[in-house]
Amino acid sequence: MYGSNDGPVRAGPCQSPGSSRALRVPQRMALNVFLSLTRRRAMEAFLSPKDSAKFIAENSQDVLVEEAGVRKVAEALFDKVSAKEFSLAGWKSLHELNPQAVNDDAVNWVFLADTLNFSFWSEHQDHKCLVKYRGKMYSGYWSLCAAINRALDDGIPITSAAYYATMTLEQVRHVFRSDTDVPMPLIEERHRILNETGTILLEKFGGSFVTCVKMSEKSAQKLLRIVVENFPSYRDEAAFKGKKVSFYKRAQILVADTWSALEGKGDGCFGDISSLTIFADYRIPQVLVHLGAMRYSDELMKKLHEGLQLLYCIKCVCGVCQHL
């Protein structure tokens, strides 16, 4: 899921009734502020990701959180959370494709990667999209990162909003080309999101995600709101039993990755970073069920064996964190 189909707030040209002249810059800015405030008021109707998870878990009939299992998983993880790979510095050492510098380029790299961080699931492990970079093959999310770094090495300014705001579909296909006969999934949707997101960055934030980070005033929650309010592709929201619920998976990943890239320093010193939820992804539901922290109804288990995808398990992993 990657959110609603709302279009970006565009600064112009805006035509006033009875006039052929575009609105002046102050009028455009006022319009953008008004539309942003309107969007914010609409967002307030949605439960936060944590509250959404709580409400869904309390009302779910087919996915159940097993508290005893949650505690067991928390106890198993307790001694591991102090390990180096789970430290703030561990993000850069986690994978060789992550940017190593602490600068604006790293922030814009993170923004691009997380904007396109969706739909890498492969039904067949021996037949999937792979990207070769510096002699090594990468799959899944890392194939995206490898393609980004490959483009940068080739002199393509792929992390520049001015570039990807106007990329053609053929250029996107070239940058994110696979080294197998299986193309990167949803390439047309990635093209649309690149154009949309780049245009918003140029029109509202001076062409750089760094501006958003500075505007957050060292608050993870404020940066989360800026992202969700301004970039439609980050709005994974839904209705459940009469409530408007939110997940904001990639938006929260973006905030956390920005914090990690900046090593929690300077504009990335988010005092409320622990307020973000964990980001339950493809394998985590399977692992939590295996460990007894979650349980599926017989009917749902049957459907899963038939190929149904289960998307979210935030409540369970939040419980693990609370026990930790």
Write the CA distances from 296 to 50, 63, 177, 247, integer angstroms.
21, 5, 38, 20
Phi/psi zone of residue 134: left (φ > 0), alpha (ψ -120 to 50 degrees), beta?
left
Catalytic residue among 51, 236, 281, 298: 281
CB environment 244-280: b (16+ within 10 A), e (fewer): ebbbbbbbbbbbbbbbbbbeeeebbebeebeebbbbb
The answer to whether 276 and 270 are in contact (CB under 8 A) is no
Q: Shortest CA distance to 94 belongs to which of 249, 257, 223?
A: 257
- Strands 136-139 and 130-133 come out as antiparallel
Active site residue 62: no
Active-site residues: which are they? 281
